[in-house]
A and B are shown apart, each in its own frame.
Chain A
């Protein structure tokens, strides 16, 4: 059918270019918020689009400020760094905690105890 009538596919493929994440899934996430009763089409579209912009922005910021720039890699630690250091990404610190070695953590605990003992 698409060969016989090529222009009929164009509206759908253009629409796919504006957003690529599924709005159905985004709506599900939005509705999981307890106070939300209903969401209009435009609000759903905008939230989906904003989420894509957010993913791009987070990835690019983390890569640009990250330690893997020379090696052409983006790793978890770069994201955790962004969450900690960039104001707008602060809300992510809970889900992107900085990873530290258990040894370092235990050392810092010991230090704290020592300081407490001194007092």
Chain B
């Protein structure tokens, strides 16, 4: 749950970067405009969630899925987002699949190169999703015996 109202804001630095990327070079965006866009984005998330949730409830499901979000975009008349969203989802799913394979490869390689340097790997992965943490935890037990072999 959100404990403070600020928790419902999106990070300003990221919002500012997205705005800059969308506009032609050299456009000056006022502070007030940036704040307003950021608030608008939070409201958009709530509106989209509520629409998507209606679709899930209609189908008697408790978990929001990709189809609900896409249907919500249509209902909100943001059809223009549908194509880019579908494409992004493809890439995302692709990466998820690849990551699982490459993660294992990566670990094998790392052990050959440098067995003791576990900390740096954790730092680099710190930003990733919980899902990855889960994967890591599942893989950890296999990893440890291997490492002992190398050290001995």
A and B interact = yes
Of the residues A5, A36, A92, contact of B43 by C-beta under 8 Å:
A92
Contact across chains for B102 and A8 when beta carbons are under 8 A apart = yes
Contact across chains for B89 and A74 when beta carbons are under 8 A apart = no
Identify whether the interface residues of B are mostly helix, strand, loop, or mixed: helix
Does A28 sit at the interface, judged by CB under 8 A?
yes
* Size of B's binding interface in residues, CB under 8 A: 78
B45 nearest CB across to chain A (Å)? 5
Contact across chains for A18 and B91 when beta carbons are under 8 A apart = yes
Q: How distant is the Cα of A22 from the Cα of B127 in the complex, in angstroms?
A: 10
Contact across chains for B27 and A72 when beta carbons are under 8 A apart = yes
Q: How large is the interface on A (under 10, 10 to 19, 20 to 34, 35 or more residues)?
A: 35 or more
Does B135 sit at the interface, judged by CB under 8 A?
no
Contact across chains for B65 and A1 when beta carbons are under 8 A apart = no
Q: How distant is the Cα of A78 from the Cα of B50 in the complex, in angstroms?
A: 27
Contact across chains for A35 and B53 when beta carbons are under 8 A apart = yes
Contact across chains for B129 and A23 when beta carbons are under 8 A apart = yes
Residues A8 and B106 in contact in the complex (CB < 8 Å), given A1-B120, A33-B49, A95-B39: yes
Residues A18 and B45 in contact in the complex (CB < 8 Å), given A12-B128, A36-B53: no
Contacts of B77 in A (CB 8 A): 87-88
| CB nearest neighbor in A for B113 | A4
Q: How distant is the Cα of A39 from the Cα of B61 in the complex, in angstroms?
A: 11
Residues A92 and B40 in contact in the complex (CB < 8 Å), given A26-B45, A75-B30: yes
